[in-house]
């Protein structure tokens, strides 16, 4: 019975670690996509960092990638920057891949 208890605890630990890594990767992705959008908006370095931080916080208040893409689309449209939803979604996927790789190499 102890073997099964140990196995269950190991699965729980792995699940918790995977969730932490997913959270960190998502936050990193949001920062990267925020910097990408800030570049398209023509922001300088300090403004870009603040904007990227606002994108990260936007996801913390309302969970879900669609909220982030909607925010980016609205901000870019308000500034007159032509960007399609497909471009935003592709950038988000690419940045998620990059973020996951960075987080795994740091761990």
**pLDDT computed for residue 8 by the predictor:** 83
CB neighbours of residue 22 within 10 Å: 13
Reported pTM: 0.84
pLDDT, tens digit (0-9, with 9 covering 90-100), for 8-60 = 888 888 899 889 999 999 999 999 999 999 999 999 999 999 999 999 988 87
- Give me the residue spans of the domains in the chain: 23-106
Question: H helices of the chain, where?
Answer: 2-40, 45-61, 65-78, 85-106
Tokens standing for residue 41: 């908006």
Separation between Cα atoms, residue 81 and residue 37, nearest integer Å: 10
Compute the average pLDDT of residues 69-92: 95
**pLDDT computed for residue 107 by the predictor:** 66
- CATH number for region 23-106: 1.10.790.20
């Amino acid at each position: 019975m102890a073997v099964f208890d140990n196995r269950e605890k190991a699965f729980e630990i792995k699940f918790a670690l995977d969730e932490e890594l997913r959270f960190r990767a998502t936050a990193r992705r949001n920062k990267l996509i925020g910097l990408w959008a800030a570049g398209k908006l023509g922001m300088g370095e300090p403004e870009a960092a603040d904007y990227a931080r606002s994108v990260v916080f936007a996801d913390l208040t309302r969970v879900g990638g669609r909220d982030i893409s909607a925010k980016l689309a609205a901000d870019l449209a308000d500034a007159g920057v032509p960007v399609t939803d497909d471009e935003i979604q592709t950038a988000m996927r690419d940045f998620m891949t990059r973020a996951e790789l960075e987080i795994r190499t740091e761990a």
